[in-house]
Amino acid sequence: SYKKVLAFGVSGNEKRYKISPIFIDERGSYKELEDVETFALFNEKNIDEYYTINILKEKTPEEKTTEEILKDAKVLHEDLRNYGSIQDKDKPLIVSGILLALREMEYKGFDIENLNGDQTTTDGEKIYAAIERNLNRANVSPQVKKDKLLSQFLVIKDTKVINEINTTLAKTPLKHYTEFLYENIYKNIRYIQSAEDYLGRFYGEFMSYSGGDGQNLGIVLTPRHITELFCDLAELKPSDKVLDPCCGTGGFLIAAMHNMVIQAKDEQEERNIRKNQLFGLELQPYMFTIATTNMILRGDGKSNLEQEDFLKTLSAKLQEDACTVGMMNPPYSMGSKANPSLYEINFTEHLLNSIVEDGKVIVIVPQSSMTGKTKEERAIKENILKYHTLEGVITLNKSTFYGVGTNPCITVFTAGVPHFKDKEVKFINFENDGFEVQKHRGLVETIKAKDKKQHLLDVWFNRIEAETKFCVKTTIEHDDEWLHSFYYFNDEIPTDEDFEKTMGDYLTFEFNMIMQGRGYLFDNDEKE
C-alpha cells in the first residue's frame, strides 16, 4: 500500500467540468490543491515537477538552472558593455564566434591559454582562425556562404579595445569572455540533460539583455514554448520538411529539428533530418550568422540556411524544396498603404504559396493582422481563402512577447486547398496559458502551463469539446475579424455577484456625475 496518495474529485459533463486534486500524506493529513483542466500534470513525465512545486513548495532543477542562466547572461552582457563598448548587434556575434572557437578544443585546434594579448598575432586573430577551422569542420558550403559568415566575425579581430590587455582584468577582454563562456557553458553542459536546451536558453536570455528580446536588433525572438507549440500543432513527422522564411536566430527550425529527431527510428534518419529537411531564409547578415552558428551548436542542421529576402524569392523556387510545413514569425508593423507588401498577412500569403499542397502553415502575428484593418489587407485575406484553408486562430497571452507591446495570435492554415464556405474554423482564447510575468525575470512558466497546453491541444484536435468562452467553431467570411473575440457571444447567465457588481458600478458612476454637476444626465423628466 502507498503512504502518499493523490486523489481526484471530478464532476460536470464533457463541456463543463471540474477536476479537483487532493494530496493525502502518510499521517492521513490532506491538502486540497488547485483545480486542473486535464490529468497531464500527473503523468510520468510531469508528476515529479508537480510534486516538487505544489506539494513540497520547492524549486525544480529547471527553475534553478534558469536562475543561473539569467545571472550568467546579465554578467556577460555587462562585461561586453563595460570592457569592450560593444554595440548590441555585435554582442551575439562575439558570443557565437567564441562558442564556435571553443568547439575546436575537442580537436586540439584551440587553447584558451594561448590568448596572451600578443599584438603580433592578436587574441582575436587566434579566435577567428579557430572559427574558420570549425566552419570547415562543420562542412559549411559553398565558399561564398562561408565567406559571408566569416565577414560577420571580423568584429572579433577588428575591435581594437577587446584585443588589448585591460589593466582591471590583467588580460584582454576577449580572453575574459572566452574563459567566462567556457566555465559557465561548456563545462556545465555535461551536468544538464540536454546540452542543446541549456545553450538555447542561455542564448535567448543573453539576447534579451541586448535590448528587450532583441528588438533593438530589429527582431522579436519567439519564446521557446511557442516554437514547441508550433511543432505540436503541425503534428510534425520525421518525414516532414520545414521552412522558416524569416528565421531570425533559428528558433522554429531548432524546435522542429529536436521534435523530428526524437521521433527518428535510427541514426541515418536523424542525419537526414539535420541535413536535408530544415530550410531557412534570413535577410539580415548578422542574424543569418547567429542562426547558422546556433544550428551548428545544436548539432548541424545549417546546410539549408540562406541569406535571402523572402519576399523577393519566388514561391515557385521555394516549392522546389517540397517543404510540407511552414513556420514563421514575420517582421511586425512594417506594412502601410504605401508599402502593402510588408503587411504580416502578405508574408503569410507568400509562405502559403511556397509550401506543397496539403502542407501546414503556422504563423504568429499581431492580432490586428487578422482583422483586415485596411482595404489592401482585406483583399489579401480574400485571396488566401481562394487557394488555402484557414483551420483556426489562437489568441495568445498579451505578455507572450514581454516588453514589446504586441498582442499576438497563432494562425494555422492548410496550403493549396481552397477554403470551402461551410468549413468550420476554430477560434480559441488562450490568453490564460499558465505563463506569468515576474519581476526581474520576465515571462515565466508556472506549473499550470503544461495543463493549459494539454487542454488546448485536446480541444484543437477534437479530443474534447470546450465551452464557447474558450473555443468557438464557426464558418467565416474574408472580411470578418478572424479572432475569438469577434465570434464569441457570452451566453452565460449572470450570477447574483455579477448583478451586484454592475449595480455598484452604475451607482458609483451616477454619484460621480452628480458631484461633477452633471446630474441632468439622469433626469427622467420628459421635456416639452
pLDDT at 235: 97
Q: 12: which residues sit within 8 A by CB, 6+ positions away? A: 18
pLDDT at 494: 79
- Please tell me the pTM assigned to this model: 0.80
Lowest mean pLDDT among 127-141, 192-206, 216-230, 285-299: 192-206
Cβ–Cβ < 8 Å for 104, 134: yes
- Grid cell 488566401 — which residue? 384
Mean pLDDT of the chain: 87
Please determine, for residue 116, whether its predicted confidence score (pLDDT) is greater than 60.
yes
pLDDT at 192: 46
Q: What is the CATH T-level fold of the domain 222-284+292-487, as seen in this structure?
A: Rossmann fold (3.40.50)
Confidence of residue 112 (pLDDT cuts 50, 70, 90): very high
pLDDT at 208: 64
Q: 456: which residues sit within 8 A by CB, 6+ positions away? A: 394, 428, 430, 433
pLDDT at 190: 44
Lowest mean pLDDT among 52-56, 72-76, 104-108, 450-454: 52-56
Average pLDDT over residues 216-238: 85
Lowest mean pLDDT among 52-56, 314-318, 363-367, 370-374: 52-56
Cβ–Cβ < 8 Å for 346, 340: yes
Q: What percent of the chain has pLDDT over 90?
A: 52
Confidence of residue 193 (pLDDT cuts 50, 70, 90): very low
Lowest mean pLDDT among 132-146, 197-211, 428-442, 471-485: 197-211
Confidence of residue 19 (pLDDT cuts 50, 70, 90): confident
Instruction: Quick: pLDDT tens for 317-358.
Output: 999 999 999 999 998 888 888 888 999 999 999 999 999 999
Neighbours of 9 (CB within 10 A): 11
Average pLDDT over residues 86-100: 86
Please determine, for residue 194, whether its predicted confidence score (pLDDT) is greater than 70.
no
Please determine, for residue 62, whether its predicted confidence score (pLDDT) is greater than 80.
no
The domain locations on the chain are: 5-55, 61-201, 222-284+292-487, 496-528
What angle separates helix 375-387 from helix 344-352, to the nearest 10 degrees? 20
Give the DSSP per-residue string, 430-488. Answer: E---SEEEETTTEEEE-THHHHHHHHHHHHHTTSS---TTTEEEE---TTS--SHHHH-
Lowest mean pLDDT among 5-9, 175-179, 220-224: 220-224
Which residue type sits at 369?
S
